[in-house]
């Protein structure tokens, strides 16, 4: 049964990859919205032992480190199906207060030879009200909370002036604070004008002040394109503000062969460097989730060794298909043992 399921998923992935990237994504998400695998056993994720467990402060003990990054299920239409793929956490969004269409199509581009994607989506999403209603209607949210924590990636509307951005963030947080286990402020997308410019120590301090007692549930996602000095000042500010942690990193801004944010294999080195620069500041005192360029289990161990408590994937799911989590974990355990570690926890920070 599992072999049939995996074979079917592999055929579906290959078929979708023949379509234009955004059409493929839309078709895939529509299919997953029906939770088509609910009557079948989940893929085997082996070995399910202590070597895979990770503790992410503010989120909890996870059976393994591989979560789904924001951007894949922007509108929470397929969280039940995605949870069945074996993810240890799912981050939806980015969610903005008001629904918005995003940038004109085409806005998603696939580069197989580099195992990469470029997107300039522009925070297309259904807005707070529609997404909240969808989550409230999904009994699976309540059922899966213990095993698959839900995160909300928070963005600002395109038309929101910079001075009102925190109001947008507060609105999204208030709309989901009883439905999600963690929140990630997106100060790093390259596709919303002026968003990255908000990433200053002063803005982070003011944001923390306005979130008040809730600040210790808020993570911040930074971009990989800053110089070291600017980046490390932001890390210091995040620690001083008492925020939950860091998600490192978002996509790399490019202008060719298309303009937008680059993800996948070419992002790995930049995102790993960001983890190293951040560790140099906080020395393990601020939890980190590693994102960017993860396509193999070895990549997971490399991020954990640089101090990440867990990781998130996006492009790997697009290229390797629905059962990628199982494959990545098996590869990670092999690489972990080759390096002489008994667990991912033991490997955390070992790069230094």
Task: Report how far apart the first and last C-alpha atoms of the chain are (Å, whole number).
Answer: 44
Report helix, strand or coil for 247. Answer: strand
Indicate which residue of 189, 271, 305, 309 is catalytic: 189
Buried b (16+ CB within 10 A) or exposed e, 16-51: beeeebbebbeebbeebbebebeeeeebebeeeeeb
If you search the block for the tokens 């080759």, which residue do you land on?
Answer: 338
Spatial separation of the C-alpha atoms in residues 116 and 251, rounded to whole Å: 11
Spatial separation of the C-alpha atoms in residues 121 and 98, rounded to whole Å: 16
Q: Is the Cβ–Cβ distance between 291 and 222 less than 8 Å?
A: no
* DSSP per position, 319-349: HH-TTHHHHHHHHHHHHHHHTT-SSHHHHTT
Beta-ladder partners of 66: 311
Residue 189 bears catalytic tag: yes
Q: What H or E segment, with its residue span, contains residue 76? A: none
**Catalytic positions, written as ranges:** 189
């Amino acid at each position: 049964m599992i072999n049939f399921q995996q074979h079917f998923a592999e055929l579906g992935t290959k078929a979708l990859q023949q379509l234009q990237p955004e059409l493929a994504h839309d078709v895939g998400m529509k299919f997953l919205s029906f939770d088509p695998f609910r009557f079948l056993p989940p893929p085997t994720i082996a070995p399910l032992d202590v070597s895979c467990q990770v503790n992410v402060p503010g989120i909890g003990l996870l059976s393994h480190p591989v979560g789904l990054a924001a951007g894949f299920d922007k509108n929470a239409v397929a969280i039940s199906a995605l949870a069945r793929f074996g993810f240890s956490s799912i981050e939806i969004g980015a969610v903005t207060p008001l629904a918005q269409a995003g940038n004109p199509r085409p806005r998603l581009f696939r580069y197989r030879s580099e195992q990469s994607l470029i997107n300039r989506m522009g925070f297309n999403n259904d807005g707070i009200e529609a997404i909240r209603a969808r989550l409230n209607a999904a009994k699976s949210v309540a059922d899966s909370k213990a095993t698959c924590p839900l995160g909300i990636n928070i963005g600002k509307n395109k038309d929101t002036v910079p001075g009102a951005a925190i109001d947008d963030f507060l609105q999204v947080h208030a709309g989901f604070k009883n439905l999600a286990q963690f929140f990630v402020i997106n100060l790093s997308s390259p596709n919303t004008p002026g968003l990255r410019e908000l990433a200053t120590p002063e803005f982070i301090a003011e944001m923390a002040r306005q979130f008040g007692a809730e600040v210790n549930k808020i993570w911040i996602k930074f971009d990989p394109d800053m110089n070291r000095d600017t980046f490390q000042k932001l890390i210091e500010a995040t620690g001083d503000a008492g925020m939950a942690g860091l998600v490192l990193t978002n996509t790399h801004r490019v202008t060719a062969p298309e303009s937008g944010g680059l993800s996948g294999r070419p992002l790995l080195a930049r995102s790993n460097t960001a983890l190293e620069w951040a560790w140099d500041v906080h020395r393990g005192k601020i939890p980190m989730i590693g994102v960017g360029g993860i396509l193999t289990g070895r990549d997971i161990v490399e991020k954990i060794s640089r101090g990440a408590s867990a990781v998130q994937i996006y492009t790997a799911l697009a290229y390797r298909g629905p059962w990628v989590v199982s494959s990545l974990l098996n590869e990670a355990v092999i690489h972990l043992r080759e390096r002489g570690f008994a667990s991912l926890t033991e490997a955390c920070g070992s790069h230094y």
